[in-house]
Structure 1
Amino acid sequence: MYLTALNEFDFHPSLSHSAGVSLVLFTAPHCGSCRVWVQLLQNLSTPLIQHAYSVDVQTATALAREYDVFHLPSLFLFVDGRFHAPLQAEAQPSAVVAAIQHALNAPAHEEP
């Protein structure tokens, strides 16, 4: 799965045009765990996810504040361009897929 980099200017327009399920990974270049997640998502193959995006918090600090990102990496689930839920899972493909399925079966959260 290819991760498209988003910034503060194209984040909302890109997501609003993203039909289906989208994952957004908030990351930073200095974050070792973030590199693990980037590699995991790039190698993840599941029909559940139609779009995958990454946001560098060093260059998109306003987005990090908007989504209350305090810990890296942070992963968020969007459905049809709208925020659905924060996603928490171990950095294992099966755990990520299970977390996505669980979140999709639950009601949407309020956007931070």
Structure 2
Amino acid sequence: MQVRPLTEFDFHPRLADSNGVSLVLFSAPGCGSCRVWLRLLSDFTDPLLQHCYVVDVQLATAVAREYEVFHLPSLFLFVDGKFHAQLQAEATPKQLSQAIGTLLNLPPQDEP
């Protein structure tokens, strides 16, 4: 799956234009766990997931604050451009697929 970058300036417009399920990874270049997640997402295939985005918190501090990102990596699930839930899973394809499926079967959470 192609992981595309998002910035403060295109975060909301690009997500608003996305259909289906999107996963957003808040990351930083010096974060080892973030690099593991980026590798996983680059190779990840799941029929439920249409888009993957990465936000560099060093370049998009306003968006990181808006979503109350205090720990990296942080993952958020969006459905049809709207916030659905914060995602927490081990960095394995099986755990990620299960977490996505579980969250999609639950009602949307309030946006941070």
**TM-score per shorter chain, which class?**
over 0.9
Give the TM-score taking structure 2 as reference length. 0.99
1:72 Cα deviation (Å)?
0.2
Q: 2:33: which partner in 1?
A: 33
Q: Specify every segment of 5 or more residues in structure 2 that has no aligned partner in the other structure, as ranges.
A: none
Name the CA distance, whole Å, in 1 between partners of 2:63 and 2:13: 13
Q: 1:5: which partner in 2?
A: 5
1:53 Cα deviation (Å)?
0.3
Name the CA distance, whole Å, in 2 between partners of 1:37 and 1:68: 19
Number of paired residues? 112
Query: Which ranges of 4 or more aligned residues in structure 1 deviate by more than 4 Å?
Result: none
1:61-95 deviation line (CA, Å, top 9, x unaligned) = 00000000000000000000000000000001000
Give the TM-score taking structure 1 as reference length. 0.99
Name the CA distance, whole Å, in 2 between partners of 1:44 and 1:51: 11
Q: Specify every segment of 5 or more residues in structure 1 that has no aligned partner in the other structure, as ranges.
A: none
Name the CA distance, whole Å, in 1 between partners of 2:48 and 2:20: 8
Q: CA RMSD in A?
A: 0.3
Name the CA distance, whole Å, in 1 between partners of 2:59 and 2:48: 29
